[in-house]
């Protein structure tokens, strides 16, 4: 399938792209080459070839879904820059508490 400059301008319009005449000419040639490669692929005899998403057989390794204890509060707060002993303390946000 050949692509024309008119096709490129139409797609650019749909994509809201402003292309110069030079860019249209370049893209026409480049997209034509891409479509040429696709035409070559479509001519291949793929009878008996299974469709694949990945060339290697892959399976996910999962672990059992087991409940384990989390961090204690003390351990979680251990490296915090500022705490009150029970929670993280963070700086006030600019404008926090101001009413408009």
Report the 3 state secondary structure along 46-89.
CCCCCCCCCCCCCCCCCCCCCCCCCCCHHHHHCCCCCECCCCEC
Express each pLDDT in 52-92 by its tens digit: 888 888 788 888 999 999 999 999 999 999 999 899 999 88
> For the whole model, what pTM was predicted?
0.48
Express each pLDDT in 2-61 by its tens digit: 899 999 999 999 999 999 999 999 999 999 999 999 999 999 998 988 888 888 887 888
CB within 8 A of 43, min separation 6: which ones?
none
| Residue 27: how many other CB atoms lie within 10 Å | 19
Number of domains in the chain: 1
* CA dist., res. 25 & res. 5, Å (int): 7
Among 58, 1, 47, smallest CA distance to 28 is for 1
Residue 33: CATH number of its domain: 1.10.20
Domain that holds residue 31: 5-42
């Amino acid at each position: 399938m050949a692509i024309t400059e008119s096709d490129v301008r139409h797609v650019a319009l749909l994509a809201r792209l402003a292309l110069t005449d030079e860019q249209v000419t370049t893209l026409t040639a480049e997209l034509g080459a891409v479509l040429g490669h696709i035409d070559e692929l479509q001519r291949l005899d793929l009878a008996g070839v299974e469709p694949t998403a990945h060339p290697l057989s892959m399976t996910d390794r999962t672990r059992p879904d087991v409940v384990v204890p989390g961090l204690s509060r003390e351990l979680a707060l251990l490296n915090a820059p500022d705490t009150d002993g029970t929670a993280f303390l963070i700086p006030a946000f600019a404008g926090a508490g101001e009413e408009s």
